[in-house]
Structures are given as C-alpha cells and as structure tokens.
Structure 1
Amino acid sequence: MRMKRERKKKKSDGGRQQNEEKKTTLKGAERSAYFARREAAKVLKTVLVGDAKRRALASIKTLVYHPSVRNKKATFALICQTLKHLPIINDVLQAASIINSKWKRQQELIYIIVYDILFGQGVPLVGDAEKYLMRHKDALHSTLKQILSRKNVKTVKELFALHEVPDVSVPRNVRVNTLKLDVDSALVELRKKYTVQKDDLIPDLLILPPGTDLHDHPLVKNGSIFLQGKASSMVAPALSPEPGWEVLDACSAPGNKTVHLAALMKRKGRIIACELQKERIKRLNDTIKLSGASNIQVLNEDFLNINPKDPSYSKIKAILLDPSCSGSGTAASRLDHLLPSKAAGQDIDMERLNKLAAFQRKALQHAFLFPAVERIVYSTCSINQIENEDVVKSVLPLAESYGFQLAKPFPEWQCRGLPVFEGSEHLVRTDPAKHGEGFFIALFSKKDAKLSVRSNNNDNRNIHSSTRTRNLRRKKPMLIHTNLFRMWLYGHLNRCRIQDKSFSG
C-alpha cells in the first residue's frame, strides 16, 4: 500500500511539474511577444515619422535587419502586415473612438496590437496596452463589421483587397565582396543550399531566386557578400576607378557603393567618403568595417562645402555623386507602397522634386571644379526625368567648358536615357520591374587635352563642341508632362525589356 501511495504521489508530482513547466513556457512566450511588439512599434514609428516628413532615414528592410533587432523575421512580418492593414486599422480606431490622449502617444504600438486582435493570432493579456485594447475587443470587432457593411463587402479579405498593392517579385542579387572572398568560392558556398548563377554584366554579382532570405547567412554577417541590387551594383563599375587613384564618394551612406569602389581599387589608393548627416555616419562606418576596406577615410561634411582648391583634394581623380533623390526607382524594393503617403494615392510632389533637382544640379556642377578629376558618375535611384536627364542636360555646357563629355558605360546595355536631348543614348537606365530597381547613371569623362573646349587648340572638333554648347543653351528645357511622361516611360521601359532579353539580371 505504501509503495502504491508513493507511486500515486510521484505521478501527481510529475503532473504538477509538467503544468508548472507549461506555465513557465507560456509566460516566456508572452514575454517574447510583449517585447517583439514593442520592438516592432519602435521601428514602425521611425518608418511613419520618416514618411510623414518625406525624409526616411532608411527603408523598412534596413531598419528591421539592423543588428539591434533580435527577432528579425517576426518583426519584419509584423510591421509589413500592420502597414498593409493600416488603412483598415485607422478606420476601425476612428469609428470605435476608444483611443484617448494617453494611448495616442503610443499610436504605433496601438496599431500593432489592434492588427493582432483583428487579423493576427490573438493577444495575451501581458502589458497595459494589450489589456486596455483587449477590454475593447468586442467594440473593435463590431466596428470592423460595420465598416464591412458600409464598404459593401462581406469578408475582411474583400475589404483588404480594396487597399492591397501587389507585391513585386524580382530575383535576389548579392554582390561578392572581393576584399574578403572570390566569386567562385562564394558560388560554391551558396550552391550548397540555393540555386545561384553569375550575372553576365557585373562580374562580382550573383543571382538567386526571388524571395531568397540571406540576412542571417554567415557570408552576409561576416561581410563576404552584400545584399545589393543589380542596378545599385552598376554604379561603381561605371566609374571604374583605377587602383592607386584618389576617389571622392560625395554622398556615401549607407556605404555599399563606397566599399564596392574599395574592392574595385583592390585596397590601393584612397577613398574619401563624404557624408553630411551624423545619424548616417555610424551606418557608413559599420559598412566599411564589415567590408574589411582599409583605404576609406570618412568625412562628416557637406560635399558642397568642400573647397576643390584645397590641397587635400588636389589629387582627386574620380567622383561618385549619388545625391539625395526621390527614391522613386526603389519604391517597390523599399516597400514604399506600404507607407501611408503611397497607400493614400498622393500625387507626385513637384515642389519636392524641384528642390531635389536644384540640389542635384548644384552638386554635379560642384564636382566639375576639382582640378585633377577625370571621371564623374552621377547616379540616382529615381525614374523621374527632372532628377535625371534634365539635371544632366542643364550642366552639359559647364561640363564641356571644363573639358568633359558624356561617356557610354556598359555599351551592351540596351535600356538607355530618355531621348530628350542629343547624346542621351550615353545615359543608363534600369527598369524596376525587370531589374528590381530603377536607377539612372551618367558618366562624365575628361576629354583628351586637344579635344578640350578650354584648350587653345581651335580645331574643327572644338568648334563643333562650342557650337553644340551654344545650341544647348538656346534650347528651352524639355519637360514631359507628368501623366504623359508616365505613359511614355511605361512604353520606353517595355521596349527596353524586349531589347534586353539577352540579359539575365
């Protein structure tokens, strides 16, 4: 009997132990969810504030995949889903009228919790915000039903479809950092798990299937490969600085193109990485450290404030100018279509575009003043003519007066500049739908001395060049009307895609 009682006691104790372990596990999961929601809310606040000011510090992906964010996949999914449902969430919160001034100060956290209540997996009662909103759970669901009826749809899926923007599916490109790893070794390592092929235009670029997630891959974490799109990876090779040169990267952060320059120069020579915004300097330094580049000097300065006559810059032979732009060419890859300003269908902000173009033009004009410079690349991640062809056209007379002409990088590349001025076929464009990003690249190259407009040699070529400069000055700037431009650009990029079938990128 005694042994029987002991067996029953052990069984009972074992059951209690299992229950205690289950409670402990549940509490651990609740705690994890609690911190995950707050981590997501912090990133979401940065995203929404940047969108409201039209000056995002970084894309959603960049913010989420920062080393400080622990559970990256879950946080990324939670933020994306909350943003996708944000118009509906806002409608529900406004109609329900349950958010007081206290909770309005934590609106990003409120958005995330309401998403979980209405569309997610439910919310454990951990945290004051969770407890408050769960007390209003019935009101939230009731309000959602009223909105369904008002919108004349039967299900949440149909309501969501009214706001949903289709996702863009493009191949995943990675650039091999040849400062740390050769391309063939990277192929061997990545092919252990993925289907990988070489790009046929950029030697250090690899192509993987769409949706391939490499953020936690050891080669990414140790800086052997960089997650960089094809279009972005074309900029540094377009400049093609030679080992031993001194190069100025005028607007460097986050630094992917800067360290690409270092790889192309094989650590020889010097790169001055100029960045004005202090909050972006840390990211630039992190990128440089991760890459293993040792010939980069970071300069916290406005490029326009650099004196080209300063002896420190007397040997600069190449300048990469990738200035602030609208980012319209990377909107899809940045997930900008999820942002409130884009979801609301707001028109193009022409005032902002004009200000950006004025700065871009001023920066490009400044680049020509450096006495030893031989090559200048001007690039944007924009598809807007006003930031691209119009900027280049406006500086051509000055460029020619300093002995520069438009060169043609990647002559085999089919998608070229919009035909709005003579010579636009030298410009490079990429198609967001085909290449994942819409980039623009212009390469200015120093002419031979005898061809320089500023030289004393008045041969026929100089006369022709001077005449062309005067003609450019006479012509009124050609700006395609916004709506017509969209239609024309769509047709132009389609033709590029047809012509570009031979490229795999």
Structure 2
Amino acid sequence: MVRSMNNVTKPKPQKQGSSGVGGAKTRMSNAERSSYFARREAAKVLRCVLQGDARRRAVASIKSLVFSPSVRNKKATFALVCETLKRLSVIKEVLEIANVFNAKWKKQEELIYIITYDILFSQAIVLSGDAEKFLLLRKVALESALARFCVRKKVKSIEELLLLNHQAPGVSKPRYVRVNTLKLDVDSALLELAKINTVKKDDMIQDLLPCWCSHQGVICTVTNGSIFLQGKASSMVALALGPKPGWEVLDACSAPGNKTVHLAALMRGEGKVLACELHKQRVELLKDTVRRSGASSILFFNLHYAVYNYTSSSRLYVFEGNELSCSPDLLKNTSI
C-alpha cells in the first residue's frame, strides 16, 4: 500500500533571527543581552573620548556622553569606559604583543579594547557576540602577552603593573601650594619643599608652587599656615583684582577663606578685608583659615554682603568669586 505524499506533514522551517544577537546559536539571557549592548555603548563613548584626545579638543565629558538618552545601561557603560581607560595603555601593549588585530577588527578597535578589558581584568564569564568570540578564541594568546609584558616591565603581578602604569611620570599632576607671604617668603618655601620632592615656581603666579609630593609631605606646613593647598585657578582670582596695600576690599562670599587670606597677603597686611559670610558654620571655618594665616587685617561679618552698611568715603572694591566691581558706597538694602 502506497501512502500519499500529500498527507505527510512537513516539518516547519525555523524562523531566522531567533538565535539571538550577534549570531549566537542560542538565545541570550537578559544578563548577556544587557552586557552585550553595554559593551557596544561603552565602545561608542570610548571612541568619542579618544577622538577628542587625539584632536586635543574634548567633545564632552564621559558622564555627559554616558547620560545621553541613547545609552540604556548607563551604570554598566560608565564603569566599562572608566575601567578600560585606566588600563588602556596596558591593553594596547597586550594586543600588539599578541598580534590579534586584523583589518576587520581594526575598524572597531574601541570595542576590542572594551572586550579585552572584560577578558583580562573583569569577572565576566560569558561573552556573547562575534567580536567577543573572536577574542575568546585568542584568550590564551592575550594572557600570554600580558605575562610577557609583566616580565618586560619587571613586575611580579598584574596589580604591580597597573600601579606602575598609574605612576608614570607623564601622567602625574602637580599639587599646587600657595605660599602665605605674611608668614614665609617664596624662596624659603621653595627650599623647604625641595627637601620632600620636586617643586618649582609657577610661571604665572609668583607665590604659587607646583609640587610633586604627597599630601603628608606638606601637612605640617599647611597646619601652621605657612602655605595653603590651593588650585591654580583659585589662586588667580585675588590676583586678578590686583589689590594694593591700604585698600579696603569687601569679600562677598568668604568661606572657606583661601581667597580671603590671599587678598590680605597681596595687600601685605595693610588696609582692610571685610569678609562677609551668611552661614554661621562656614564663618567658623573662615575664622580658622584666617587664624592660621596670621592675617590681622581681616574683619568678619556674619551677613549677606549686600546688607552691609558701608558709609566710608573711600573707594570700596567688591570681591565676589570671579566677579569684581567697585562702588563709592554701599547703603543698607532692606529688601534682602
């Protein structure tokens, strides 16, 4: 008996695309899918950052790039970008030693950097996607290259290698210390700090010293008020006013007081600095800064500077953050 072929049920063909993202044979789990997209979002952000560095023109900060609406997994993306950047010089060396780049993946080098970080330094166990598979097949070569790089750098562990990488001379930044000329002259401070580590005079601000030393190395000098840890931008503000000895300057928002005592030092302790601070707790912080500086020409006012009743006929210079103006008098403003 011959069975008709028309009655035989044919198997249904499988739908295309049900195998998951990146050509995987099995469908991804939610965690795998999230990691897959986070790596690609991180690669896009990393590309913007590296292109900005290459052109010496930053497009945007990492945070602003990560927090754009197009990025879904912001936390994972931000972590991947930051951690990859910390190890980027090591990752580049390892990829070069392992010689795994080809023409196809060279066009997606930022993604390769991200995945290499995940393979060598992260706790990622399952990596799905074509680029991930490409590097996983070469995991032994990458690990061997990392070991050879450690030998070349004469370190015994990856931790030592990363620490050495962070301490590279070209990467280190100076800590700026401003000399309080009411207590110490710049040359004496330079000689004292030179005993600790590298220090020099700033090329723009006479009483500012870029210092490549630890915070502990200068803590004693900071405590007695001979120097203040103060950034270069912050130190420029009082200097921009160019106060002369004998002036009367109203510092409109004084606490914590670094700029206030800088004003007093530039005026050589002569004249008056009228320090206004609205918040009582910050007034105490201001007083402590002034006490350490040894400045005797600073008067404290726990009020908003606009309600200060200034009736002197002399010219008053109003100093408010980065803004300055001058006025013959300031009358009490009852609207505040």
State TM-score, norm by structure 1: 0.34
Give 1 or 2 for the bigger CA radius of gyration. 2
